[in-house]
Amino acid sequence: MYLIVEDSAIVQKILRHTLKQQCVEPVLFATSMAEGCALVEKHGDAIVSALVDISLPDAPSGEMVEYVLEKNIPVVVLTGSSDGEQRQALLKQGIADYVVKENRFSYQYAVRMLQRLYLNRSITALVVDDSATMRQVVSCYLKLQCYQVIEAENGQEAIDCLQNDDNISLVITDYNMPVMDGFQLVQEIRHRYEKRPISVIGLSSHDDSDVSVQFIKKGANDFLQKPFKQEEFCCRVTNNTEALEQLKALREQAERDYLTGLFNRRYFIEEGTQSVNQLISDGKAVSVALLDIDRFKQINDEYGHDAGDAVLKQFAVYLQDTFGRFLVARYGGEEFALILPGLGSDKAFGLLDGFRQYVAEQIFILQDDDYLRATVSIGLSASDIGQPSNLNNMLQQADLALYAAKENGRNLLMSHDPESDQA
The pLDDT tens digits of the residues spanning 236-287 come to 999 999 999 999 889 888 999 999 999 999 999 999 999 999 998 888 999 9
Q: pLDDT category, 421, cuts 50, 70, 90?
A: very low
Give the count of beta carbons closer than 10 Å to the beta carbon of residue 246. 10
Rounded to an integer, the average pLDDT of 9-23 is: 94
The answer, yes or no, to whether the previous bond of 60 is cis (omega within 30 of 0) is: no
**What pLDDT band is residue 143 in, cutting at 50, 70 and 90?**
very high
Sequence-distant (≥ 6) Cβ neighbours of residue 219 within 8 angstroms:
186, 187, 189, 190, 200
Distance CA 96, CA 88 (A): 12
> Residue range 335-358: average pLDDT?
96
Return the exposure string of 383-411: e unless at least 16 CB atoms fall within 10 Å of the residue's CB, then b: bebeebeebebbbbbbbbbbbbbbeeeeb
Q: What is the DSSP letter of 73?
A: -
The mean pLDDT value for 200-213 works out to 86
User: What is the band of 419 on the pLDDT scale with cuts at 50, 70, 90?
Assistant: low
pLDDT at 44: 87
Distance CA 144, CA 179 (A): 30
Residue 386 has pLDDT above 90, yes or no: no
Give the pLDDT of residue 205.
Answer: 84
pLDDT in the model for residue 382: 92
Strand 376-382 and strand 371-372: the pairing is unpaired
**In percent, how much of the chain has pLDDT > 90?**
87
Does residue 333 carry a pLDDT above 90? yes
Tens of pLDDT, residue by residue over 92-110, are 999 999 999 999 999 999 9
At residue 400, the pLDDT reads 95
Compute the average pLDDT of residues 281-309.
Answer: 94
Cα within 13 Å of Cα(155), Cβ side: 18
Query: Does residue 421 or residue 127 have the better pLDDT?
Result: 127
- Distance, CA of 143 to chain centre: 20
Query: Rounded to whole angstroms, how far apart are CA atoms 99 and 238?
Result: 15
* DSSP secondary structure of 122-171: G-EEEEE-S-HHHHHHHHHHHHHTT-EEEEESSHHHHHHHHHH-TTEEEE
420/107: higher pLDDT: 107
Give the amino acid at 125: A
- Say whether 7 sits in a helix, a strand or coil: coil
User: What pLDDT score was predicted for residue 109?
Assistant: 95
Quick one: pLDDT band at residue 388, thresholds 50, 70, 90?
A: low
**Exposed, middle or buried by CB within 10 Å (0-12, 13-18, 19+), for 106?**
middle
3-class secondary-structure state, position 238: helix
How far CA 174 is from CA of 131, 151, 164, 211, in Å, comes to 9, 12, 21, 11
Looking at residue 281, what is its pLDDT?
87
Distance CA 299, CA 214 (A): 60
- Please give the pLDDT value at position 384: 78
Nearest to 116 by CA among 237, 288, 276, 251: 237
Predicted pLDDT at 418: 63
Residues 178, 211: contact at Cβ < 8 Å?
no
Mean pLDDT on 80-102? 93
pLDDT of res. 27: 96
pLDDT digits (tens, 9 = 90+) for 40-75: 999 989 999 999 999 999 999 999 999 999 999 999
Number of H helices, E strands in the chain: 15, 17
Residue of higher predicted confidence among 389 and 423: 389
Q: How confident is the model at residue 370 (pLDDT cuts 50, 70, 90)?
A: confident
The sheet carrying 2-5 orders its strands as: 27-30, 2-5, 49-52, 75-79, 97-100
- The 8 Å CB, 24+ separation contacts for 332-337 are 332/265, 333/296, 334/292, 334/293, 334/296, 334/308, 335/290, 335/291, 335/292, 336/262, 336/290, 336/291, 336/292, 337/265, 337/268, 337/272, 337/288, 337/289, 337/290, 337/291, 337/395
Query: What pLDDT is recorded for position 288?
Result: 96
Please give the Cα distance from 26 to 82 (Å, whole number): 29
